[in-house]
Amino acid sequence: MRVKIDVGNNTITGTQNKFYCLWATGQNTEVTGNQLKINLQKNNSKTVIAYSEKNTLKDSTISSHGQNARGIWASEDATVTRHFLDIKVDSQAAKAVVAVDNLMIHIHDSYIQTMDKHYAILYSYKYSIGTQ
């Protein structure tokens, strides 16, 4: 079974801890977002999560504020493509783009900014128990 999701021209605001905005999983899943304004305001929130799927986001603004803020989180054979994005994360331990295990990320014509100490623009690691 193949699943396609297309989201456009929307504003999404998360006001609770651990708010996950766009989360998709599965090799037969394809998510496309255009002209989105995503603003997450609490701790441990993630704007876009991609597990083993194709994920494309264009002409959008992503902001994540709060401890351990994450902009884009991708893992497990995901293919992630980004065009014309403005990504901002601010807080301690913020990470703008997180890449875990075997995946491919393409980021073109985008602006990525972190605003605090102990942050990472691009953070990549091999998953093992006890990491996050």
Closest C-alpha among 59, 35, 45 to residue 14:
45
Q: Is the pLDDT of residue 42 over 60?
A: yes
95 contacts: CB under 8 Å, gap ≥ 6: 69, 70, 71, 89, 119, 120, 123
Provide the pLDDT for residue 126.
66
**DSSP label at residue 53:** S
Closest C-alpha among 74, 132, 130 to residue 107:
74
Provide the pLDDT for residue 131.
45
Q: What average pLDDT is seen over the chain?
A: 81
| Sequence spans of domains, the chain | 3-111
pTM here is 0.78
